[in-house]
Amino acid sequence: MIAITGASGQLGRLVIDELLTTTPASEITALVRHPESISDLAERGVTVRQADYNEPGTLIEALKGIKKLLLISSSEVGQRAQQHQNVINAAKENGIELIAYTSILHADTSPLGLAEEHRATEAMLSESGIPFALLRNGWYSENYTAGIPAALQLGTLYGCAGDGLIASAARADYAAAAAKVITMDNQGDKIYELSGDKAYTLAELAAEISQQTGKEIGYVNLPEADYASALEQAGLPAPLAHMLADSDTGASQGGLYDNSQTLSGLIGRPTTPIAESVKEALKGG
DSSP bridge pairs for 169: 140
For the chain, where do the domains classified as CATH 3.90.25.10 start and end?
145-149+156-164+197-258+270-282
**CATH 3.40.50.720 assigned to 2-138+169-194:** yes
Q: How many CB atoms lie within 10 A of CB 223?
A: 11
3-state secondary structure (DSSP) of residue 233: helix
For the chain, where do the domains classified as CATH 3.40.50.720 start and end?
2-138+169-194
E strands, 105-183, where? 132-137, 156-159
pLDDT tens for 222-242 read 999 999 999 998 888 998 899
pLDDT tens for 189-219 read 999 999 999 999 999 999 999 999 999 999 9
Instruction: Say how far apart CA 148 and CA 279 lie, in whole Å.
Output: 11
Instruction: Say how far apart CA 256 and CA 111 lie, in whole Å.
Output: 9
Q: How many CB atoms lie within 10 A of CB 126?
A: 12
Pick the CATH number of 145-149+156-164+197-258+270-282 from 3.40.50.2300, 3.90.1150.10, 3.90.25.10, 3.60.150.10: 3.90.25.10
pLDDT tens for 149-174 read 999 999 999 999 999 999 999 999 99
Across all residues in the chain, what is the average pLDDT? Answer: 95
pTM of the model: 0.96
Amino acid letter, residue 127: E
pLDDT tens for 35-88 read 999 999 999 999 999 999 999 999 999 999 999 999 999 988 889 999 999 999
